[in-house]
Amino acid sequence: MSRTNVKTFVVLILASFLIGCATPYGSSKGNLLGGFSETQIGEDAFTITFKGNAFISRETVANYTLLRSAEVVLAHGFSYFVIVDSEKYSKSGSYTTPVTSSTTATISGNTISGSTQYYGGDTFFYKKPRASNTIVCFRSKPDLGGLIYDANFLVRSLKGKYSITN
């Protein structure tokens, strides 16, 4: 197998392994792949954050943040909420694979010949999407201008879209 074929094979194996590593919907506590967290900042106000890994889209992270916002609203006895502040950003980074070598030698009489091949040393770049919502909750639909979210509707809609059963 040539070096190019070996490299392609390794990349395909790694890609197929990592496809299952997208950030699952769940708490970030003890989860190395990411997840949500929330902080109560008032009796009716919360900041919800979702941290994704390099294998999840920005859209999914934004929707998971919205879903968790709706779940927090319902868990605290509210039905509606507005987003008063929202942030969407990515954490970027890179990693370089280690360099390895393979040396082969041939002895023929008094002559020794050999060659060394080097593998690795490739640098890969990634982005980990993040999102946070600061929300204010309401028990009944407020008479406000702007977008007012119905928490029950969002939970049904987004759990259905992502086939989340919990």
What confidence tens digit (pLDDT) does each residue in 50-100 have? 999 989 999 999 999 999 999 999 999 999 999 999 999 999 999 899 999
Residue 52's CB is within 10 A of a number of other CB atoms, namely 25
pLDDT at 157: 98
* Model pLDDT, residue 20: 53
Check whether 155 has a pLDDT greater than 90.
Answer: yes
The tally of CA atoms less than 13 A away on the side-chain side of residue 53 is: 15
Whether the pLDDT of residue 154 is over 90: the answer is: yes
**CA atoms within 13 Å, Cβ hemisphere of 95:** 5
Q: What is the pTM of this model?
A: 0.75
The confidence score (pLDDT) of residue 18 equals 45
Q: At residue 19, does pLDDT exceed 50?
A: no
Other CB atoms within 10 A of residue 61 CB: 24
Q: Pick the more confident residue, 16 or 163.
A: 163
In 3D space, the residue among 153, 151, 157 whose CA is nearest the CA of residue 44 turns out to be 151
DSSP H or E run through 104? strand 100-108
Q: Confidence band (pLDDT; 50, 70, 90) for 33?
A: confident
| Lowest-confidence region among 24-28, 47-51, 60-64, 159-163 | 24-28
